[in-house]
């Protein structure tokens, strides 16, 4: 009984407009920053190196290199503090956690980009001749 009550309360705070992305994708998170009385939107762009599951407690970690220094930031997935999440490119990775990127430098730290299906498939050669 107690667990279902907690789940009921937590379900009220789940976001409905969550973007679909995976580990290895390059994303741009538009985060709302409050400075004094004013509030503005600041973009944080990088590679998703971790996605932690858990209903409304789920989070994801984004890593970028800024002026030669690696910067990681953890964002709650269902937080009202971000405006939107843009998926810039899809990564082709075989792991769920990309912590090995921390030790790599330069071009070695890039993630391969996954080829996207555009839907315009060419006809097979045998069918084209017939």
pLDDT digits (tens, 9 = 90+) for 26-58: 999 999 999 999 999 999 999 999 999 887 889
DSSP assigned state of 22 = -
pLDDT digits (tens, 9 = 90+) for 48-107: 999 998 878 899 999 999 998 999 999 999 988 989 999 999 989 898 999 998 888 888
pLDDT at 122: 61
The residue whose two tokens read 């990309």 is 98
Domain ranges of the chain: 18-93
pLDDT at 118: 61
pLDDT at 119 over 80: no
CATH topology of domain 18-93: SH3 type barrels. (2.30.30)
With CA atoms as reference, report the closest residue to 29 among 86, 74, 89: 86
């Amino acid at each position: 009984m107690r667990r279902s009550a907690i789940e009921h309360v937590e379900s009220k705070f789940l976001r409905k407009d969550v973007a679909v992305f995976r580990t290895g994708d390059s994303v741009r998170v538009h985060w709302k920053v409050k400075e004094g009385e004013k509030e503005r939107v600041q973009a944080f762009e990088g590679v998703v190196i971790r996605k932690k599951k858990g209903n409304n407690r789920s989070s994801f970690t984004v890593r970028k290199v800024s002026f030669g220094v690696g910067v990681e930031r953890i964002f709650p997935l269902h937080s009202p503090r971000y405006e939107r999440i843009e998926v810039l490119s899809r990564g082709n990775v075989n792991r769920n956690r990309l912590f090995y990127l921390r030790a790599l430098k330069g071009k070695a730290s890039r993630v391969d980009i996954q080829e996207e299906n555009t839907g315009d498939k060419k006809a097979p050669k045998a069918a084209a001749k017939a």
